[in-house]
Amino acid sequence: MKILVPVKRAVDYNVKVRVKPDNSGVDLNNVKMAINPFCEIAIEEAIRLKEKGVATEVVVVSIGDKACQEQIRTGLALGADRGIHIETDAGVVVDSLQVAKLLQKVVEAEKPDLVILGKQAIDSDNNQTGQMLAALTGMPQGTFASEVVVADGTVNVTREIDGGLQTVKLQLPAVVTTDLRLNEPRYASLPNIMKAKRKPIDVKPVADFDVDMTSKVTVIKVEAPAQRVGGVKVADVAELVHKLKNEAKVIA
């Protein structure tokens, strides 16, 4: 069984981004970038399925400029077998539908049995790509997964939903998107980082894919959120309750 894992290069989750003074976007100069945390969980899940003997090959794919090869290498160091890089020009923003269409072409060529994506990228917080890919390829989907069990041409996915947990059974090939509690990703060991340098990455220009890259969604402006200013420290519970009743008037 082959597993395809799309990974996104995103701002490190510890970084508090700043909006550019001209409101054209956020300032990503000299900001630490990393593999999107949900994608890391996706790779880990794929590797575990390989270690269990369920999967035979794990392929990571990323769409972006040259820099995202760093994240593909991370995937390879974690245990993926090979990488595919769909290269865009630097600074090009690709929207989720375009990413999904490019991934659709990769799926057609690679014919994976399972595609595992992150549920959302922590920069755009879109939470769309996996579902779009599933629709475009006619695959069933199990989103926000906290457990994935593959058996006999099907996969059971336990999903974190607003009311609790839901389990669905999907026929393979299928799309799964990861939630935080699916697993705890490992760290890449030094020998594996060295080994990853020799694993192949197939680089293809985005133009080869015949996907319309003009977006119909434009960002008009990006602003800083209204700042919440810290209030006061109260001395004790009595003062807190008094203020909540009489000043804030949020309790009776």
Partner 1 sequence: MSVLVYAEHDNESLKIETNKLVHAALGVSSDIVVLVAGSGCAAIAEAAAKISGVCKVILADNAVYEHQLPENIADLVVEVAADYSHVFAAATTTGKNFMPRVAALLDVAQISDIIKVESEDTFVRPIYAGNAIATVQSTEIKKIVTVRAASFDAAANDGSASVELLDTIKTSEKSSYVSAELTVSARPELTAADVIISGGRGMQNGENFVLLNGIADKLGAAIGASRAAVDAGFVPNDMQVGQTGKIVAPQLYIAVGISGAIQHLAGMKDSKVIVAINKDEEAPIFSVADYGLVGDLFDLLPQLEAAL
Ligand X SMILES: Cc1cc2nc3c(=O)[nH]c(=O)nc-3n(C[C@H](O)[C@H](O)[C@H](O)COP(=O)(O)OP(=O)(O)OC[C@H]3O[C@@H](n4cnc5c(N)ncnc54)[C@H](O)[C@@H]3O)c2cc1C
Q: According to the binding rule CB under 6 A, does residue 122 interact with ligand X? A: yes
* CA distance between the termini of the chain: 61
5 or 134: CB nearest partner 1: 134
Q: According to the binding rule CB under 8 A, does residue 192 interact with partner 1? A: no
Contact residues for 156 (Cβ-Cβ < 8 A; gap 6+): 147, 148, 149, 167, 168, 169, 170
In the shown chain, the binding pattern of residues 77 to 106 toward partner 1, with x for contact by CB under 8 A and - for none, equals: ------------------xxx--x------
d(CA 143, CA 120): 10
Q: According to the binding rule CB under 6 A, does residue 99 interact with ligand X? A: yes
d(CA 82, CA 2): 12
69 or 141: CB nearest partner 1: 141
**Residue 53: which of partner 1, ligand X, none does it interact with, CB under 5 to 8 A by kind?**
none
Choosing from 67, 135, 194, 203, the residue that interacts with partner 1 (CB under 8 A) is: 135
d(CA 133, CA 66): 23
Q: According to the binding rule CB under 8 A, does residue 24 interact with partner 1? A: no
Tally the C-alpha atoms within 13 A of residue 43's C-alpha that lie toward its C-beta.
29
Task: Restricting to residues 126-155, name those near ligand X by CB under 6 A.
Answer: 126-130
What element of type H or E holds 75?
helix 69-78
Q: According to the binding rule CB under 6 A, does residue 93 interact with ligand X? A: yes
Choosing from 5, 120, 183, 206, the residue that interacts with partner 1 (CB under 8 A) is: 120
